[in-house]
């Protein structure tokens, strides 16, 4: 039997309603909400045939263990690709993978998933150990993207990078010590973009397994970007190059 869990926040619940309504068992909505978003949620739940119950705010906060925006849903996990082979075998265009090397903040993980979804990445990979898990906090930050982009924890990141390279997928790490800017690199072919964790950046072994290191030019006094912002910049540049090609 699949393990049911609570998802919370309007973006996450609305996305699940639009794309995977069959996974939802019941939605709990703050009975005090009378705004446009609440009305849209009620209407969409009725259209999709999903049960919605209006309850007091304290009950919802208890289910969400914190800020919920007044909506919580009990849901089954969404069936996405279960491993990297399944992702790669299903592609009809050059691979675009986002790899996170030790991102430990679930908010950053969620934001990276959101960027990956926005720019059409086929999967997000990360080490199983010393990395954020796809929990309710990450799912809420992803604003529905966690239901659309496979998140694949891998046991050995270095081995995964070697496998990708053997499959003719270019492994490009984002590092401020990179030999060229991200716009100078050719990102139009099969690609895995690798970004490091908060503060420490890419680990030494991960850096050594990259085919190329690129930097994001900085013009202001700030020396680095949040990992989710850096992911968005690199993914956008990749899509820009592919569109021109």
For 69-127, the pLDDT digits (tens) are: 899 999 888 778 889 999 999 999 999 999 999 899 999 999 999 999 999 999 999 99
pLDDT at 226 over 80: yes
| CATH code of the domain containing 173 | 3.40.1280.10
Q: Where on the phi/psi map is residue 116: left (φ > 0), alpha (ψ -120 to 50), or beta? A: alpha
| CATH code of the domain containing 48 | 3.30.1330.30
* Mean pLDDT score, 198-207: 88
CB atoms inside a 10 Å sphere around CB 240: 14
* Mean pLDDT score, 138-142: 89
- Residues 109, 192 within the same domain: yes
CB atoms inside a 10 Å sphere around CB 58: 8
pLDDT at position 120 is 95
What integer best gives the mean pLDDT of the chain?
91
The reported pTM is 0.78
Residue with tokens 């699949």: 2
Task: Give me the domain span that covers residue 98.
Answer: 84-244
pLDDT at 65 over 80: no
pLDDT at position 89 is 93
pLDDT at 2 over 80: no
Q: Measured in whole angstroms, how far is the alpha carbon of residue 19 from the centre of its chain?
A: 16
Greatest CA separation for the chain: 56
Distance CA 6, CA 115 (A): 23
Contact 39, 76 (CB under 8 A): no
- Residues 125, 238 within the same domain: yes
State pLDDT tens for residues 162-193: 999 999 999 999 998 899 999 999 999 999 99
- Residues 20, 90 within the same domain: no
């Amino acid at each position: 039997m699949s393990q049911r869990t609570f998802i919370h926040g309007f973006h996450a619940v609305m996305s699940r309603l639009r794309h995977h309504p069959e996974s939802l068992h019941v939605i709990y909505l703050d009975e005090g909400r009378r705004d446009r978003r609440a009305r849209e949620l009620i209407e969409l739940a009725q259209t999709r045939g999903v049960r919605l119950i209006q309850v007091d705010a304290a009950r919802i906060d208890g289910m969400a263990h914190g800020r919920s925006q007044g909506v919580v849903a009990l849901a089954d996990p969404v069936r996405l690709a279960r491993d990297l082979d399944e992702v790669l075998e299903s592609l009809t265009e050059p691979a675009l993978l986002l790899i996170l090397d030790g991102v430990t903040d679930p908010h950053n993980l969620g934001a990276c998933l959101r960027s990956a979804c926005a720019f059409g990445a086929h999967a997000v990979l990360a080490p199983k150990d010393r990395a954020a898990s796809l929990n309710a906090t990450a799912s809420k930050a992803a604003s529905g993207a966690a239901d659309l982009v496979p998140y694949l924890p891998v046991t050995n990141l270095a081995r995964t990078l070697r496998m990708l390279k053997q499959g003719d997928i270019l492994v490009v790490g984002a590092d401020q010590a990179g030999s060229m800017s991200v716009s100078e690199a050719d990102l139009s072919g099969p690609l895995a973009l690798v970004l490091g964790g908060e503060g420490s950046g890419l680990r030494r072994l991960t850096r050594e397994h990259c085919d190329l290191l690129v930097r994001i030019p900085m013009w202001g006094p700030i020396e680095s970007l949040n990992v989710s912002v850096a992911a968005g910049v690199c993914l956008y540049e990749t899509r820009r190059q592919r569109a021109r090609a």
